[in-house]
């Protein structure tokens, strides 16, 4: 499959999937941000952990890369090699709760390294949220095919030989102490959410990036939210429509699939954080 052939408007989810060969991090700018992040819980709107875990699977984008029914898809590339996002319905049956939690949050599979699973985003999840995600995965009936194991194509072999390639566990170690700017205790909850849900594309420092990623238009600095009213921001998160009623490409789909599942309190916390960030460092 050639991911660059896919239209962003038609297949936002597949496009999201194409983004992760390189996590977005401006090493220099991020270097100052070394304070570790506290584990917060996402809002718990259902006392049933399975329902809570299902909401997290949307908000955290598992349903993007692993597809909405979590059966996975083909990311293979002639240069990089065979790679499928795992069929999580099979993984949930094959691995223990503990093994699943370690794969998600540490990027470590018992028998081999994981590639391009962005566990560095999930390394700071609260243990109870991680457990709820695993509870949800464990309810999935085994569905669809078991996918082939990854192979190493010529371009990936070069990256491995030059030391440029990092597996999922190495990314966790690399990004462990990096987080969006620390704006104090009032904004700590939002800082935690932003690290897990926005930093993947807008960078750990939330300064955006023009770095070329498959099919992704440049991602602006989230300081742009300083120009949004609370209502406009809430509309963006719920419907994917930007200020002024503009349709967005990738971001439109990401909002509708993932961020429409945020609670109002989560959206407000993110908004307050981003407005404060824009005020302090426009």
User: Interface residues with ligand HEC (CB under 6 A)?
Assistant: 16-17, 19-20, 57, 60-62, 64-66, 83, 85-86, 88, 91, 100, 103-104, 109, 114-118, 122, 133, 150, 197-198, 200-202, 216-217, 219-220, 222, 224-225, 236, 242-243, 248-251, 254, 259, 270
* Nearest-approach distance from CB 88 to ligand HEC, in angstroms: 6
Give the Cα separation of 71 and 63 in Å (integer).
9
Return the number of the residue (186 or 211) whose C-beta is nearest ligand HEC.
211
Return the number of the residue (64 or 181) whose C-beta is nearest ligand HEC.
64
Which residue's entry shows tokens 């598992």? 62
Return the number of the residue (61 or 181) whose C-beta is nearest ligand HEC.
61
* Nearest-approach distance from CB 18 to ligand HEC, in angstroms: 9
Return the number of the residue (32 or 236) whose C-beta is nearest ligand HEC.
236
* Nearest-approach distance from CB 2 to ligand HEC, in angstroms: 17
* Nearest-approach distance from CB 75 to ligand HEC, in angstroms: 6
Give the Cα separation of 155 and 280 in Å (integer).
42
Return the number of the residue (57 or 123) whose C-beta is nearest ligand HEC.
57
* Nearest-approach distance from CB 90 to ligand HEC, in angstroms: 7
Return the number of the residue (201 or 204) whose C-beta is nearest ligand HEC.
201
Per-residue b or e along 251-282, where b marks 16 or more CB atoms closer than 10 Å to that residue's CB: bbbbbbbbbebbeeebbebbbbbbbbbbeeee
Sign of CA dihedral 105, 108, 113, 114: negative
* Nearest-approach distance from CB 201 to ligand HEC, in angstroms: 3
How far CA 117 is from CA of 8, 107, 113, 128, 274, in Å, comes to: 21, 7, 10, 21, 27
Residue 275: both structure tokens together: 């407005």
User: Are the CB atoms for 106 and 176 separated by under 8 Å?
Assistant: no
With a CB cutoff of 8 Å and minimum separation 6, the contacts of 84 are 72, 73, 74, 75, 76, 147, 148, 150
User: Are the CB atoms for 235 and 241 separated by under 8 Å?
Assistant: yes
* Nearest-approach distance from CB 231 to ligand HEC, in angstroms: 14
CA dihedral 6, 9, 13, 17 (to 10 degrees): 50
Return the number of the residue (175 or 201) whose C-beta is nearest ligand HEC.
201
């Amino acid at each position: 499959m050639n991911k660059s052939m896919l239209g962003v408007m038609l297949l936002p989810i597949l496009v999201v999937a194409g983004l992760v060969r390189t996590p977005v991090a401006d090493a220099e700018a991020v270097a100052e941000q070394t304070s570790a992040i506290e584990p917060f819980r996402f809002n718990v709107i259902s006392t049933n952990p399975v329902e809570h875990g299902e909401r997290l699977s949307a908000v955290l984008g598992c349903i993007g890369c692993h597809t909405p029914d979590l059966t996975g898809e083909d990311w293979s590339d002639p240069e990089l090699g065979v790679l499928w996002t795992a069929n999580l319905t099979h993984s949930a049956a094959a691995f223990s709760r503990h093994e699943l939690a370690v794969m998600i949050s540490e990027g470590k599979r018992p028998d081999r390294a994981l590639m391009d699973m962005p566990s560095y985003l999930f390394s700071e999840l609260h243990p109870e949220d991680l457990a709820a995600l695993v509870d949800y995965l464990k309810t999935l009936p085994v569905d669809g095919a078991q996918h082939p194991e990854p192979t190493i194509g010529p371009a990936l072999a070069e990256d491995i030989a030059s030391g440029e390639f990092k597996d999922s566990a190495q990314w966790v170690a690399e990004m462990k102490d990096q987080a969006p700017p620390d704006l104090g205790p009032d904004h700590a909850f939002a800082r935690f959410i932003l690290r897990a849900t926005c930093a993947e594309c807008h960078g750990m420092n939330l300064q955006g990036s023009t770095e070329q990623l498959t099919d992704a238009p440049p991602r602006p600095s989230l300081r742009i939210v300083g120009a949004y009213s609370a209502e406009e921001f809430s509309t963006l998160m719920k419907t994917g429509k930007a200020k002024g009623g503009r349709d967005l490409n990738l971001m439109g789909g990401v909002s509708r699939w993932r961020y429409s599942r945020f609670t109002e309190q989560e959206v407000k916390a993110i908004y307050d954080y981003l407005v404060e960030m824009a005020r302090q460092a426009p």
